[in-house]
Chain A
């Protein structure tokens, strides 16, 4: 359909087009949205048309593009906001300091910690190296713009199976290629900016074949007096754009993120993937923190999705003002960009500062010393309009209320719980030794050392519990990592992930709860106490009622449990449309939990410490195999997804924490993927010592993944005191010693040498990655 009759090129010496929306038919509005890459619905296009009709003028291309950015799913959460408001928002225990681009919680009297996690899924599916690198860049800026020094990076990643042989969805890349590219992108960007990548996860499932998930989290530390709003200070403030230059990379990133991937995404959307430059970012971090701590700025915000078009409006509106910007002052990577391109470009490594006139010179001088560009591009004015000029010509003037109050939908939602409808088919299991070695070598369980040794997880010198725990160069997995943010204080932060997409696929409500439970028990296991969460909700197309139903249920599960524990979720991110023609990804709500560690010198690790010490199981094991590793590995179907009993979790957390504070626990590991058997095996690997365990059940109970459980090591002399601390169920499993793991059940005995376990666990990933 030709739309030429709607476009009127303005007679100015640069590209500027007025669009006659008033004359456009519904069919034309639809085509217009598609052709311009706006990803807006017909209703939304009509709303824009009516707005400009009431103003009695035609919108410019700059205005139309800008509204599309602001109203994208990515920017205004139009499908998810109603659900989030009902379940997640507003949990407040009095320790939330800010809910800005990153959430900020109280750390101690003087400091706060910032946290956020978000997705960079679609860019990484198209260009894994650049997509992952700029994902890190973006999340670091979210923490930075609160005035916080970034101190840790976290990256849970989800791909199709590495050994996938069959056909791939059209346009998709092989999982091995994606894993290599994403890991290299995180490595090169994270290592260069000098923020340790301390915690992560690698998950493999067929559902991620066409649409991998790359979630990136960042934690920062900020003096309360340096905490900044993402807002201008007031009328008269100068707007200073600093960092990288603006180019054509990353145009339409947010609108691209708000549509399903297809075989054409590669060709059509390559330009939506931004290019990262860590060596612009590194000094940008220094310079921003320096001008902030010197009290030279009133507000700061990062340029992410939607670029300038989002940052100027949001900063001005939050400060109760309007703004005027001379768009042609923006430093460019290349000449010839149209005004609308400059306005919506998502070029990386850029920050916006708002400062009073008297401080501008000093700010520019300091940035110059760091060789980082900083340019005054506009000013804060009274009123509620943002006005843009290009070579003196007004190219844009929009009311901020209209721009930023995007649509909000209560879309139809269908709730299904497959675990209740699929008939459970139990697997035929081989002998226990085979099952255990198979599971240790399952890429979802196997050692991730191949990945985390490439990440600098110790830069900044504050990593107390590292990704590996135990003997040097022989460590087992850690449950949470612990960071000591301040050199002169022993107070620390525990960072732990919780997510189980397979639970969520069968029962999104229980799966959502399980993700919170897992993050909590991981934090408890290292000696911390859960303090807050940030979440990245990766789901399919919300316009399909079943997908939205999954989102609603998972969020309800997470929210109900977080609310019961009275632990806030001060930040988060929603990524929808993770879907290809072959179907949606598993519902994947990733939770990053943060815990406070009162004294990092009292931390507990997972590795077994000493021959003769006793092993206990804390918590209750039930017949809950739905979504478990053992069911997936051996082709079972259905099954009950492990439930969480909120009161039980809370009591377990408190009692375990008390026992740890009393020094009664020598090592501790949470029970998750692969159940008790795998948890004990991993503890043996870390300590490079065997153990003997007994159970009165059949062996396959050892693989149940019931929630709220830990394995703990206790010295025999402290057994009585330890048991006296607990009112929750606790069972003696056995004791430590020897060079193998020995498992005795009612019916059989199994002996698995440490050597064989290590080969299976450590060898799997390097072998698959080649």
Chain B
């Protein structure tokens, strides 16, 4: 079996890298937590790393650079200025890229999502806007897998099934420029880019609190048209085992948490 290398990328304020690394370690591969400056060569020489040498790239959650300009904007700008070519090549090689929470915001800021007209758009085409409640929302969320075709991240999550990945963010409402909102959504659906949508316990698309942010069309996660770049607000890496689910003391016990399947799928796709 191929030795799979995973890059969990971080800068100051990235704060979900430990559990992101644990997620990949739980499915039998060896992840490495890498600082952006290690890819840019701005570090002691023994710590330098090459993005191309990895098979999977993960952008974990957090508040990169404090999110003081716009969530994810600074991390994205720093990646774009020093690493654009490497990233484009990585994506065009079909290698999986996953961004969770702040990582999703970074992928949108980078133009790697929704990327309807090419690998990476020049400017961001969408935004993850302040939640309708106006507050940070840390709560359980249920997601229905709605991708019609195959994707490298969902081979182990059947279409129509519901998973519990918790959310924790203040800016997770997916929006397009108002005038193009309807058209962009249609294209997104047509391209089969909608992967996860928020639902209630009956599996119905529901409002707050089940959709914690008021996102367009209840969208929780999208991929690029090729299906190898995935961004999502909820955190699969927080539910690797059943005991971190919110209601695990009430339901029938099983060992695995819902989050594992997404990482299993990604690893399987590159093996």
Contacts and interface: CB of A to CB of B under 8 A. Distances in A.
B12 A453 contact: no
Interface in A370-393: 370-372
Interface stretch (A278-286, A405-413, A573-581, A715-723): A278-286
A678 B25 CA distance: 44
Interface string B100-119: 00000000000000000000
Nearest to A606: B249
Contact of A458 (B37, B135, B168): B168
A278 B66 contact: yes
Contacts of B44: 362, 365-366, 369
Contacts of B68: 279
Contacts of A484: 243-244
A71 to B, nearest CB: 37
B15 interface: yes
B249 A369 contact: no
Contact of B210 (A278, A362, A456, A473): A473
Contacts of A463: 244
A461 B12 contact: no
Contacts of A457: 138
B249 A454 contact: no
B235 A369 contact: no
A187 interface: yes
A475 interface: yes
Contacts of B61: 459
A254 interface: no
Interface residues of A, number: 50
B13 interface: yes
Nearest to A472: B140
Contacts of A280: 12
A461 B136 CA distance: 18
B62 A473 contact: no
A487 B239 CA distance: 11
A37 interface: no
Given A453-B137, A484-B243, A603-B243, A369 B66 contact: no
Given A191-B136, A458-B235, A473 B19 contact: no
Most B CB contacts (10 A, CB to CB) among A366, A454, A472, A487 go to A472
A675 to B, nearest CB: 24
A192 B136 contact: no
A607 B251 CA distance: 12
B12 A370 contact: yes
B247 A282 contact: no
Given A279-B13, A282-B13, A455 B38 contact: no
Interface in A66-118: none
Contacts of A600: 243
Contact of A283 (B12, B38, B139, B142): B12
Contact of A461 (B22, B25, B37, B139): B22
A193 B137 CA distance: 17
B55 interface: no
Interface string B12-51: 1101101100100110000000010110001110010000
Contacts of B209: 473
Interface string A449-485: 0001111111111111010111111010000000010
Given A370-B12, A603-B243, A453 B139 contact: yes
Given A282-B13, A461-B238, A471-B247, A456 B65 contact: no
B153 interface: no
A461 B244 contact: yes
B19 A607 contact: no
A601 B246 contact: no
Nearest to A365: B44
A458 B43 contact: no
Interface in B113-138: 135-138
Given A283-B12, A603-B249, A462 B244 contact: yes
Interface of B: 12-13, 15-16, 18-19, 22, 25-26, 35, 37-38, 42-44, 47, 61-63, 65-66, 68, 135-140, 142, 164, 166, 168, 201, 209-210, 235, 237-240, 242-244, 246-247, 249-250, 253
Given A191-B63, A453-B135, A460-B16, 19 more contacts: A192-B15, A194-B63, A278-B66, A280-B12, A282-B15, A283-B12, A370-B12, A371-B37, A454-B138, A456-B136, A457-B138, A458-B166, A459-B19, A459-B61, A461-B16, A461-B239, A462-B244, A463-B244, A472-B164
15 contacts: A278-B13, A279-B13, A280-B12, A369-B43, A370-B12, A453-B139, A461-B18, A461-B237, A470-B247, A472-B142, A472-B246, A473-B210, A487-B25, A600-B243, A601-B253
